[in-house]
Amino acid sequence: MRAALHAEWTKLRTVSAPAWLVLAAAAATVALGALASRAVTCEPGCGLDATKISLTGLQLGQAVVAVLAVLAVGDEYRTGMIRTTLTAVPARSTLLAAKAAVVAGAVLAAGVVGVGGAMVAGRLILPGQGFAHLPATDGATLRAAVGSVLYLVLIALLSLGVATLVRDAATAVGAVLGLLYLLPILLMVVSDPDWQRRLRRLTPTEAGQAISHTVGVDTLPIGPWSGLGVLALWALAALLAGAALLHHRDA
Amino acid sequence: MTPYRSALPTGDDGFPALLRAELTKLRTVPGWVMAGAVAAALIVGFALLASGGGHSRGGPPPRDADGTPVVDRFTFVHRPLPADGAVTVRVASLTAPDGPEPWAKAGLVVKAGTSPGAAYAAVMVTGAHGVRMQHDFVDDVAGPASARWLRLARAGDVVTASASTDGATWSTVGTTRLAGPAEIGLFVTTPPHETFDQFLGGTSASGHPVLATAVFDGLAATGVPASGWETLAVGAGDDPRALVGAAAWSGDTVTVTGAGDIAPAVEDGPGLEQTLVGGFVALTVMVILGVLFVTTEYRRGMLRTSLVASPRRGRVLAAKSVVIAAVTFAGGLVATAVALLAGKGIMGDAVHPVSALTQLRMVVGTAALLAIAAVFGVAVGTILRRGAGAVAAVVVLTTLPYILSVSAVLPVVSAQWVLRVTPAAAFAVQQTVREYPQVNAAYTPAFGFFPLPPWGGFAVLCAWTAAALAVAAVLLRRRDA
């Protein structure tokens, strides 16, 4: 496993795309969050969720993270490298686990920088927009920040699983982004409010992003940590399905 | 010795042959054909899903003669008007507890009966928009701003609305036709006080109902029976919580209170665009197809064969764009037409009625949107040469702005700005509800209102695609394949 990890780390480190994507994910998270913070104004008692506003950039950052994770598998299939890799590491589950660990590490770095930067940007910008009390270290804010980093990591693992399933980078990115962006749109037209609430609990984005709320958490369809749990189940399911197919298919 | 010459005739290297080659490449990949078919099936499937189930709460709103849903609730102090006649009055004041709403209305109306939705013509003083003549719910003509004397006269079936500042010199505001027996008299109404905002997944419409008070004097009428004026709260039966106005006489002066509105209903039940929600899924599929149409050639080295067969590279890009656009448009047209008709059939009366021309625009517009988005995919695929980045770029550019704006993540001003400059502006072709300047409503993306007109929004996507194609053509020419 150590050797497999080392090999995956070398592969990730020695091409330029992953490094750029890590940077882009962090930059996108900070930039969109800062833009959203600039866009909003708060009159006293507006009840808006300053932390959630700062973390708006997750919506864009997750797309970059998805591309990063998909390419870790997709590029191997595109170039035929996967056959060399599987010759070197014949235990396919070990390979997938090593890939998952390395990608998770890279996204963790992107997430810490991106979410941290977005929180700092929000703390700098939002007071000028009329937000009065911005506690930096209360429980809910810390939970939102840490949870949002984990959210990005789980999105990456989900994307990795999907990429292993479909073996083509373009299709995998389309499938993941469809899951992330289209489900919320499609849910908007579910006319029965009870069903809509039930389905929103099961959607990876809607459930997973519950973690970034600090105001009105009780009114969300799902609690913050259980929401992140739903996303974790999605990621686990995708990885398991990917692992199963990786075992049973020729590369 | 003569060099070898193939016995086969020389192939045609014109643009039609290139188109045929690209079409062959597209239709001979079973996975792509199946993906296209699945996309079409999803458009129809989501239409059935979206149009089933819930309907608007409460009874259906009243409709006018054209079937447009309307709000028709006001206090009416009226007498019958069998044939010709005229009423003149001065609106001494129009007030409300917190100041009159901009579109509070007090004045004269002639109406074909007292049931909500019946045809009418009215001339009125408004809270902040001067004197107006309005008729048939959607027509609105501005009159002199400072006039307080109003006259509504009917001769034959022509109704003439006039206004005056002093009761002596009159100017005509507008004319319309209203035939048959009618009721004529004073009316007062005001929309509730409402402000709208949206942010972080929530839309807020904060407001409270308002009762406007108007004081009339100098009332004079001809052509109406001599019996007294009757007071009626038109349309008040709809909502038990609604404020109901009344009239009180004191000599020549009459004080009338009223609430409601006489206007087209702007938010009413599900919009027909809900039936086209599957278009988002199809968009993602077609963008992926557009990207793969190019990047697969790079991946397999097929592009080198293509460029040997057709060395003028711009033409290859053009042929690919034309082929995928034509195929997507044709398939999208069929799928969206079926989806719209099926969804309309299921929703029945619950749906906000939409004219045939608008429905045609929705179907053609959505199909064109899919086609242009696929071409956008081809262009971005050519620029990036890798599938993953290209798909992510196009999907993020088209759907993320839509989500941020329509699911009310962004505040209204930013959301409207985003829907002006990003390719997501093209979804304006699906907009069904008109915006009326004389109705204060939530004209925000979360309620289906786009800042750009339908084809204007579509042009934004076309501009992005044209720019991407131009860059792609230059890069394709410059770079090795």
What is the residue-wise DSSP string for B362-394? HHHHHHHHHHHHHHHHHHHHHHH-SHHHHHHHH
Question: Cβ of A174 and B390 within 8 Å?
Answer: no
Interface TM-score (ipTM) > 0.85 = yes
B116 — pLDDT class (breaks 50, 70, 90) = confident
What share of chain A has pLDDT > 70, as a percent?
A: 97
Per the listing, tokens 């002639």 go with B110
Distance CA(B299)–CA(B307), nearest Å, equals 14
pLDDT of residue A235: 96
Q: What's the distance, CA B381 to chain centroid? A: 33
Chain A residues within an 8 Å CB radius of B418: none
pLDDT of residue B56: 47
Distance CA(B65)–CA(A162), nearest Å, equals 55
pLDDT for residue A156 is more than 60: yes
B197 — pLDDT class (breaks 50, 70, 90) = low
Taking residues B411-424, report their average pLDDT. Answer: 84
pLDDT of residue B367: 95
- Helices and strands in chain B: count of H runs, count of E runs: 9, 17
Quick: pLDDT tens for B373-382: 999 999 999 9
pLDDT for residue B461 is more than 90: yes
Question: Cβ of B284 and A170 within 8 Å?
Answer: no
Taking residues B70-91, report their average pLDDT. Answer: 89
What share of chain B has pLDDT > 70, as a percent?
A: 92
Nearest CA distance, B385 vs chain A (angstrom):
11
Distance CA(B304)–CA(B480), nearest Å, equals 9
CA dihedral (B82, B88, B92, B97) in degrees, to 10, reads: 20
pLDDT for residue B238 is more than 60: no
**End-to-end CA, chain B:** 37
B245 — pLDDT class (breaks 50, 70, 90) = confident
pLDDT of residue B241: 64
Contact yes or no for B373/B290 (Cβ under 8 A): yes
Neighbouring-strand partners of residue B153? B86, B160
Q: Is A182 on the interface with B (CB under 8 A)?
A: yes
pLDDT of residue A24: 95
Name the DSSP letter for residue B61: P
pLDDT for residue A77 is more than 50: yes
Contact yes or no for B133/B143 (Cβ under 8 A): yes
pLDDT for residue B54 is more than 60: no
Outline where DSSP puts E strands in B223-284. Answer: 230-234, 247-250, 253-258, 261-264
Residue type, B434: R
pLDDT for residue B57 is more than 60: no
pLDDT of residue B199: 54
A206 — pLDDT class (breaks 50, 70, 90) = confident
Choose the mutation target among A189, A199, A214 for the interface with B, i.e. most B CBs under 10 Å: A189
Contact yes or no for A240/A100 (Cβ under 8 A): no
Quick: pLDDT tens for B138-184: 888 888 888 889 999 998 889 999 999 888 889 999 899 988 888 89
Task: Count CB-CB contacts under 10 A for residue B302.
Answer: 13
Residue type, B139: D
What share of chain B has pLDDT > 90, as a percent?
A: 31
Contact yes or no for B76/B109 (Cβ under 8 A): yes
Q: Is A181 on the interface with B (CB under 8 A)?
A: yes
Q: Which residues contact A108 (CB under 8 A, 6 or more apart)?
A: A149, A153
Domain that holds residue A18: 2-248
Chain A residues within an 8 Å CB radius of B46: 186, 189
Quick: pLDDT tens for B324-382: 999 999 999 999 999 999 888 887 766 777 788 888 999 999 999 999 999 999 999 99
Average pLDDT, chain B: 85
pLDDT for residue B428 is more than 80: yes
Better pLDDT: A69 or B403? A69
Give the total residue count for chain A. Answer: 251
Taking residues B129-141, report their average pLDDT. Answer: 88
A185 — pLDDT class (breaks 50, 70, 90) = confident
pLDDT of residue B280: 86
Quick: pLDDT tens for B9-19: 777 778 898 99
Q: Which residue of A has its CA nearest to B52?
A: A191
Nearest CA distance, A177 vs chain B (angstrom):
7
Residue type, B333: L
Give the total residue count for chain B. Answer: 481
Better pLDDT: A36 or A47? A36
Taking residues A133-161, report their average pLDDT. Answer: 89
Better pLDDT: B3 or B131? B131
Contact yes or no for B396/A28 (Cβ under 8 A): no
Chain A residues within an 8 Å CB radius of B29: none
Query: Of the candidates B100, B108, B218, B92, which has an alpha carbon nearest to the alpha carbon of residue B148?
Result: B92
Distances (CA, A) of B292 to A82, B278, B378: 21, 21, 8
pLDDT of residue A64: 95
3-state secondary structure (DSSP) of residue B14: coil
Contacts 24+ apart (CB under 8 A), A5-9: A5/A98, A5/A101, A5/A102, A7/A85, A7/A88, A7/A89, A7/A98, A8/A72, A8/A95, A8/A98, A8/A99, A8/A101, A8/A102, A9/A102
Choose the mutation target among A173, A194, A219 for the interface with B, i.e. most B CBs under 10 Å: A173
Domain count of chain A?
Answer: 1
Distance CA(A117)–CA(B345), nearest Å, equals 51
Question: Cβ of B414 and A36 within 8 Å?
Answer: yes
Better pLDDT: B241 or A199? A199
Question: Cβ of B391 and A48 within 8 Å?
Answer: no
Residue type, B7: A
Choose the mutation target among A79, A103, A162, A185 for the interface with B, i.e. most B CBs under 10 Å: A185
Question: Cβ of A170 and B414 within 8 Å?
Answer: no
Q: Is A217 on the interface with B (CB under 8 A)?
A: no
pLDDT for residue A169 is more than 80: yes
A237-246, B65-74, B134-143, B172-181 — most confident range: A237-246
Distance CA(B277)–CA(B336), nearest Å, equals 10
Query: Of the candidates B22, B168, B156, B19, which has an alpha carbon nearest to the alpha carbon of residue B83?
Result: B156
* Range of weakest confidence among A38-47, A90-99, A199-208, B194-203: B194-203
pLDDT for residue A152 is more than 90: yes
Taking residues B411-419, report their average pLDDT. Answer: 81
* Ramachandran region, residue A12 (left: φ > 0; alpha: ψ -120 to 50; beta: rest): alpha
Chain B residues within an 8 Å CB radius of A63: 392, 395-396, 400
Q: Is A170 on the interface with B (CB under 8 A)?
A: yes
Question: Cβ of B391 and A177 within 8 Å?
Answer: yes
Q: What's the distance, CA B41 to chain centroid? A: 26
A199 — pLDDT class (breaks 50, 70, 90) = confident
Contact yes or no for B77/B254 (Cβ under 8 A): yes
